[in-house]
Amino acid sequence: MDQNKTQHSPPPSYFRPYPLNPSNFRGYKPSYPNPHSCSPPSMPLLSSKPIPNLGYWELLSPALFGAVSALVLSLFSERKSEDYIERSEGNLFKFVLVGYSTGALVSTYYAVKKVIDESRPTYNNLFPPLAGVLVTVILLFGSVDLLLYRFFPSSWEGDVGDNFCTQIFSFLYLSSTTIATAGLGDIKPTNVTARALIALEITFYLFTMATAIPLFLVQAK
């Protein structure tokens, strides 16, 4: 009888199979990282905000706003002596003209890029927005050139007219011939600010309208 009891007795505890689930142990508590001490691995270190997707007219609005503002300031500007204007921070005024024109051209470039990116073959819908860009740039620089002339008449050399309407037409004509790189020499710049405005307009046409657009079209195919 003693031998039978010995044969059917259960094996000692250290021969039993190791439990696969650690939670079977009494008092076992799984260790989790403190949520307040560290962030989850998937959480980005920097909060990424979505980049605003500006439309065609929103990107073109700085140039349009600049053209209208320059026309209004030219209309209500008083013809004062250049010496007085120089004493009242004339260099800052010139810097603002060139700086704002540069920023408006950068925004206009992205308007052109957006039109090209959203276009599809046969690209028949490209003419109206690109024509709008050209007209806007001509208006911008025609107005800025006029504003520069109203405050600094010696910035330009040539017959621009005596009344305001004739001057508007003269500087729009100057802007049109400049963007077409067909300078006829009727109106010439005589200082650095006027030359910088002429160079900006020509650069925009050469590197955006004449160079970037064909490259965009090749990439879009």
pLDDT of residue 176: 92
The verdict on residue 23 lying in a domain is no
The verdict on residue 4 lying in a domain is no
Catalogue the long-range contacts made by 98-105 (C-beta closer than 8 Å, 24 or more residues apart).
98/193, 98/196, 98/197, 98/200, 100/62, 100/66, 101/66, 101/140, 101/141, 101/144, 101/197, 101/200, 102/200, 103/62, 104/62, 104/63, 104/66, 104/140, 105/63, 105/137, 105/200, 105/204
The verdict on residue 208 lying in a domain is yes
Output the pTM of the full model.
0.71
The verdict on residue 19 lying in a domain is no
pLDDT of residue 162: 87
The verdict on residue 47 lying in a domain is no
pLDDT of residue 32: 52
Range of 155's domain? Answer: 56-220
Reduced to 3 states (helix: H, G, I; strand: E, B; else coil), residue 152 is coil
The verdict on residue 6 lying in a domain is no
The verdict on residue 176 lying in a domain is yes
Task: State how many domains the chain has.
Answer: 1
Query: In this structure, what token pair is assigned to residue 61?
Result: 């609005």
Torsion of the alpha carbons at 157, 161, 164 and 170, rounded to the nearest 10: -70
pLDDT of residue 47: 46
pLDDT of residue 31: 55
The verdict on residue 3 lying in a domain is no
Q: How confident is the prediction along the chain (221 residues), in pLDDT tens digits per residue? A: 445 544 555 555 545 555 555 555 455 555 555 555 555 555 444 444 544 678 889 999 999 999 999 999 998 876 554 554 555 557 888 999 999 999 999 999 999 888 888 877 777 778 888 889 999 999 999 999 999 999 899 899 998 988 899 999 999 999 999 988 777 778 999 999 999 999 999 999 888 877 767 766 666 56
